[in-house]
Amino acid sequence: MSAPAADAQLNDPVLSVDKVSVRFETREGPVVAVDDVSFGVRQGEFLSVIGPSGCGKSTLFNVIGGLLTQHQGTVSVAGETIDGPHKSIGMVFQEESTFPWRTVTDNVAFPLELVGMAKAERVERARHFIKLVGLDGFDNRHPGELSGGMRQRVSLARTLASKPKILLMDEPFAALDEQTRLLLGDKVLQIQQEIQQTTLLITHNITEAVQMSDRILVMTYRPGRVKRIVDIDLPRPRTSEIVSSEAFGRYVAQIWADLREEASRGMREAEDQVLHHQGAES
Amino acid sequence: MADTGRLRSTAVGAPGWVSPVTLLRVVIILTFLAVWEFLSHSGWLYRDVVPSLVRIAAALVDLLTHGEYYFNLGVTAAEIGLALAIGGSLGIVVGIVLGANRFLTKAYEPYLYYLGPTPKIIFFPIIIMWCGVGPESKVALGALSCFFPLALSVAAGMRQIDKVLIRVGKSFRANSWQMVMKIYLPAMRHPLINGVRLGFGFALIGTLLAETKLSNMGIGFLIINAYSTFDMPRMYAMLIVLFVLSIGANALIGRLGGIESIKRR
């Protein structure tokens, strides 16, 4: 009886995560990385999952992306339960992930090549997405000739080229400097508004989350649970300038209050662990 | 353009006259030749052990103007090529399978490490019994020789592949064949080319060694034949040609790797 009710509440989510838990066996015994997490992402929505280091965000990313199948609960896309990488979910990784031996065009066309699309067609589609991320003119360059921010845009274009129903990103700007990160954020916002891409962003950056999201899911420190879901009621289209508005500041403060509790608990536990280890050794 | 770096480095290196390094290289070659010629005329060594350069040159011309040599060269080249193709592709397949699977690596890689450095020529008697004295046994020994260095370097190369690239492939649902062709092989092209280079060297050694042991055609056979009839100038001439050819082949393989490396970050 609860399932239809939940569905109605979530307004028919494209992606639904239902009671997902993940446990890892470590040398110090089992660790619950993600504990009973449930949420949905609506069509066209930009949802961010934010949490302190060690809250299991990346684990959640791998579960939703289908790269980690050892978990409890279900993840489903448009009603279809996934049990591995799904064609409707496109992943963008935190790490440098372009293929250095391929040109920008061939990088972006990679997923199209895998499904056997004809060369002319895939090159054309790659061109389109290269242009969308603002890299036109760099089509025939190799990633080695580009900056880190440009390479991350190539990764984004590559994932978008596969036309996923849901764009799933794991801290895609974490390795970049602050200015590049803000400008890239603008780019993502613009793309999101242009193609109405349903997006799930995993991040630990509050500014980034508030700037881009319709809703923000705050996670607790280990075990990772849903602490709160915050609606971000800021007007669209947005740009990085919104950062200086008063409403923006309020959201940041609100989320930081939630997050600080978790982050400091994480820090304390990490410290305790170090002390504990030292105690055990002496 | 992206090539400015290369242009600059050549501009610095070549301001119109020979660099000291090149000069030194030429000097050592000339010194070697002079000492050689001196020894050949000194009469200190038994007859033809060190024949004069003129006689070697004459033998070289004689060698290169007779069809018999080219036939045998062709036989040897075909043997080496086939050995590299068979042993090499087996080595690559085994290397990929081992590199992709931690369990198999643990189980089988020690064997590769133990068998790898063993001189494969000790298996030659068995190979002769299986494959006969013809080119087949040379191919078999050459293949056996180049299998191990290739398998080991591919297995090591597989482990060096950036894990995220593999995750990208999986997230786009690449099948095993696509993973190998579009991610594993290009991602480890440097260790792969080094492996092929090593493998080529080992195939060359294995094949020639087998030819000198027991055979009826091929360069190894000709060399050992010249040796047993004490035709030293001819033997040296053949060694020189062989030397030049193997350097050329090695440079060609290296060049294939070089083109790719320019495109790397």
The answer to whether residue A181 is domain-embedded is no
- The reply to whether B63 and B29 lie within a common domain is no
* CATH code: domain of residue A227: 3.40.50.300
Residue A106: is its pLDDT beyond 70?
yes
Question: Looking at beta carbons, which residues of chain B come within 8 Å of A87?
Answer: 173
**By the 8 A CB rule, do A184 and A152 touch?**
yes
- The reply to whether B121 and B36 lie within a common domain is no
User: What DSSP string describes A83-115?
Assistant: SS--TTEEEE-SS--S-TTS-HHHHHTHHHHHT
Give me the residues of B, 86-115, that contact A with CB < 8 A: none
Question: Tell me, what's the pLDDT at B27?
Answer: 93
The answer to whether residue A35 is domain-embedded is yes
Kindly state the average pLDDT of the residues A164-172.
93
Name the residue among B177, B205, B175 with its Cα closest to residue B87: B205
Kindly state the average pLDDT of the residues A1-6.
45
Q: Tally Cβ neighbours within 10 Å of residue A29.
A: 7
Question: Tell me, what's the pLDDT at B7?
Answer: 45
The answer to whether residue B95 is domain-embedded is yes
Contact: B263, A142; criterion CB under 8 Å: yes
- The reply to whether B253 and B189 lie within a common domain is yes
| Interchain contact B125–A (C-beta under 8 A) | no
| Interchain contact B187–A (C-beta under 8 A) | yes
- The reply to whether B149 and B253 lie within a common domain is yes
CA distances from B99 to A100, B158, B174 (A): 21, 5, 18
* CATH code: domain of residue B218: 1.10.3720.10
Q: Where are the alpha helices (DSSP H) in A73-216?
A: 104-108, 110-114, 119-132, 148-161, 178-195, 206-212
Count structural domains, chain B: 2
- The reply to whether B40 and B78 lie within a common domain is no
Query: Interface pTM (ipTM) of the complex?
Result: 0.87
**Which H or E element spans position A76?**
strand A72-77
Question: Looking at beta carbons, which residues of chain B come within 8 Å of A100?
Answer: 263-265
Diameter over CA atoms, chain B: 74
| Interchain contact B162–A (C-beta under 8 A) | yes
Burial A82-102 (b: 16+ CB within 10 A, else e): beebbebbbbbbbbbbbbbbb
Q: Which domain holds residue A60?
A: 2-88+203-281
Name the residue among A2, A84, A72 with its Cα closest to residue A37: A72
- The reply to whether B168 and B232 lie within a common domain is yes
The answer to whether residue A171 is domain-embedded is no
Q: Tally Cβ neighbours within 10 Å of residue B158.
A: 23
Instruction: Specify the higher pLDDT residue, B1 or A163.
Output: A163
| Interchain contact B47–A (C-beta under 8 A) | no
- The reply to whether B64 and B33 lie within a common domain is no
The answer to whether residue A40 is domain-embedded is yes
- The reply to whether B130 and B255 lie within a common domain is yes
Question: Tell me, what's the pLDDT at B6?
Answer: 45
Digit-by-digit pLDDT tens for chain B (265 residues) are 444 444 444 444 445 677 888 899 899 999 999 998 888 888 777 767 788 888 899 999 998 898 888 999 899 999 999 999 999 999 999 999 998 888 888 888 888 888 888 888 888 999 989 988 888 999 999 999 999 999 999 999 999 999 999 999 999 999 999 999 999 999 998 888 888 888 988 998 899 899 988 888 888 999 998 888 888 889 999 999 888 988 888 888 777 765 555 444 3
Per-residue confidence at A123, pLDDT binned at 50, 70, 90? very high
The answer to whether residue B79 is domain-embedded is yes
Question: Looking at beta carbons, which residues of chain A come within 8 Å of B182?
Answer: 110, 113-114
The answer to whether residue B2 is domain-embedded is no
Nearest to A97 among B165, B186, B263 (CB): B165
Kindly state the average pLDDT of the residues A142-166.
93
- The reply to whether B197 and B164 lie within a common domain is yes
Give me the residues of A, 70-109, that contact B with CB < 8 A: 84-85, 87, 89-91, 93, 95-97, 99-102
Which residue type, as a one-letter code, is found at position A5? Answer: A
Compute the distance between CA of residue B242 and CA of residue B77 in angstroms, rounded to an integer.
Answer: 11
The answer to whether residue A113 is domain-embedded is no
Order of all β-strands in the sheet with A29-41: A29-41, A15-26, A72-77, A80-81
Contact: A97, B168; criterion CB under 8 Å: yes
The answer to whether residue A172 is domain-embedded is no
| Interchain contact B168–A (C-beta under 8 A) | yes
**By the 8 A CB rule, do B213 and B121 touch?**
yes
User: What DSSP string describes A225-249?
Assistant: -EEEEEE----SS--GGGGGSHHHH
Count structural domains, chain A: 1
Per-residue confidence at A202, pLDDT binned at 50, 70, 90? very high
The answer to whether residue A20 is domain-embedded is yes
Instruction: Specify the higher pLDDT residue, A92 or A223.
Output: A92
Under DSSP, is residue A278 helix (H, G, I), strand (E, B) or coil?
A: helix
Question: Looking at beta carbons, which residues of chain A come within 8 Å of B173?
Answer: 84-85, 87, 114
The answer to whether residue B9 is domain-embedded is no
- The reply to whether B39 and B71 lie within a common domain is no
Pairing of strands A72-77, A15-26: antiparallel
The answer to whether residue B51 is domain-embedded is no
Question: Looking at beta carbons, which residues of chain A come within 8 Å of B265?
Answer: 100, 142-145
Question: Tell me, what's the pLDDT at B48?
Answer: 72
Question: Tell me, what's the pLDDT at A7?
Answer: 45
Joined tokens for residue B41 = 């005329």
Q: Tally Cβ neighbours within 10 Å of residue B118.
A: 11
- The reply to whether B181 and B113 lie within a common domain is yes
Per-residue confidence at A79, pLDDT binned at 50, 70, 90? confident
Contact: A113, B182; criterion CB under 8 Å: yes
Question: Tell me, what's the pLDDT at B15?
Answer: 53
Q: Which domain holds residue B70?
A: 59-262
pLDDT above 70: percentage of residues in chain A: 94
The answer to whether residue A108 is domain-embedded is no
- The reply to whether B66 and B35 lie within a common domain is no
Kindly state the average pLDDT of the residues A22-49.
89
